[in-house]
Amino acid sequence: MSERTPMTLPRLAEMKAAGEPIVMVTAYDYPSAKVAEEAGADIILVGDTAAMVVLGYPGTEPVSMDEMVMLGKAVRRGLDTALMVGDMPMGSYEASNELAVQSAQRLVKETGCKVVKLEAGGTSVERARAIVRSGIPVMGHVGLTPQTATALGGYKTQGKTAQGAIKLFEDALALQSVGCFSIVFEAVPAAVTEAIVEKLEIPTIGIGAGPATAGQVLVYHDLLGITTGRTAKFVKRYAEIHEAMVGGVRSYADEVRSRHFPEPDHVYGIEPAELEELRHYLDQESLTSQKAWDWEPLP
Ligand code: KIV
């Protein structure tokens, strides 16, 4: 594993102060966590985008706490130094402060994540306060919040009007005031982000929010080109892994069908004398004429 020291919240604050960009990426299982860790990401988010990119749901709403816990445990096993953030799925925190604290504790205890993330302002601010007071650090999330995308009018850029941007600023300020250590800004005009983050003390992480945030986050499957079909404007693809994977499996299928696989390098050997003894045994007339129902288990 790497020589890096574990990422901490003070270190993130220092990075923001020093203007050192923070790299955050999602991961949903052991291999993606290993890749993100090896690539040097500072923060790994076990995001509820898992609902779509891993579990095949149409949105993030259906993913359950049990599913997030299962994915989070796998991610933990692949991490070494990056800060692991557990995303709180829809329904796990909105109803009451008690529910929010219980859910956050479950994520931390069962997955080994160090901090949690929840979406939106409004009542989420109170939930964030309760979780922070229980001793678990919280990352906020404003702008386009997919769990409540329907109420926001769909998967749309947020803060495009002065009033919308002011509301976004107020949510971010409120989340900071209750102790959130960082806030994700999603799908916000770059100029709005720039104007708002100047007024915040904590590090912000952008996704489709321009370059002014202290760090950036992208969804693992989007940036690697594992996601197929249309992706958001803010996604930059750094690889085309889906095509490479389909190509690999297709080549395997072709070679099986044409009997080019397995090759001599892929098979196990046996000592000739042992093989000869086996053949001799199998050649016995009595063995091949024996009926299946003659067979009796050993005592
Ligand atoms: O769930 C997720 O992956 C997220 C990121 C898009 C920030 O919330």
Pocket test for ligand 1, best of 28, 207, 223 (most atoms within 8 A of CB): 207
**Look-up: residue for tokens 């760090």?**
215
Cβ(122)–Cβ(170) below 8 Å: no
62 Cα: distance to centroid of ligand 1 (angstroms): 15
Report yes or no: 71 and 54 within 8 Å, Cβ to Cβ.
yes
Residue 58: asked if its preceding bond is cis (omega within 30°), the reply is: no
Separation of first and last alpha carbons in the chain: 51
Q: pLDDT tens across 174-210, in order?
A: 999 999 999 999 999 999 999 999 999 999 999 999 9
Q: Model's pTM, two decimal places?
A: 0.92
Which residue, chain included where needed, has tokens 């046996």? 270
Q: Give the pLDDT band of residue 3 (cuts 50, 70, 90).
A: confident
For residues 242 and 227, is the Cβ–Cβ distance under 8 A? yes
Distance from Cα 100 to the centre of ligand 1, integer Å: 19
Ligand 1 atom showing the smallest separation from residue 218 Cα: 6
Confirm or reject: Cβ of 94 under 6 Å from ligand 1. no
CA-proximal residue: ligand 1, atom 1 (nearest): 47
Q: What element of type H or E holds 37?
A: helix 30-38
- Rounded Cα–Cα distance for residues 193 and 206 (Å): 9
Q: Are strands 115-117 and 138-143 parallel, antiparallel or unpaired?
A: parallel
Q: Is 186 a catalytic residue?
A: yes
The mean pLDDT of 70-93, rounded to a whole number, is 98
pLDDT tens sequence across 10-22:
999 999 999 999 9
Compute the distance from residue 48 Cα to the ligand 1 centre, in Å: 6
Give dist(CA 89, CA 66) in Å, integer.
Answer: 10
pLDDT: which is higher, 250 or 4: 250
* CB-ligand 1 contact for 116 (6 Å cutoff): no
CB 46 within 8 A of CB 86: yes
182 Cβ closer than 6 Å to some ligand 1 atom: no
Residue of the CA atom closest to atom 8 of ligand 1: 47
Mean pLDDT of 222-241: 95
CA separation for the pair 259, 197 (Å, rounded): 60
Residue having the nearest C-alpha atom to atom 3 of ligand 1: 47
Q: How far is the CA of 125 from the centre of ligand 1 (A)?
A: 18
Of 186, 201, 271, 285, which is the active-site residue?
186
Interatomic CA distance for residues 271 and 248, integer angstroms? 34
pLDDT of residue 2: 47
Whether the CB-CB separation of 220 and 36 falls below 8 Å is answered with yes
Look at residue 291 and tell me whether its pLDDT is greater than 70: no
Instruction: Check: CB of residue 225 under 8 Å from CB of residue 245.
Output: no
Task: Tell the residue nearest (CA) to atom 4 of ligand 1.
Answer: 47
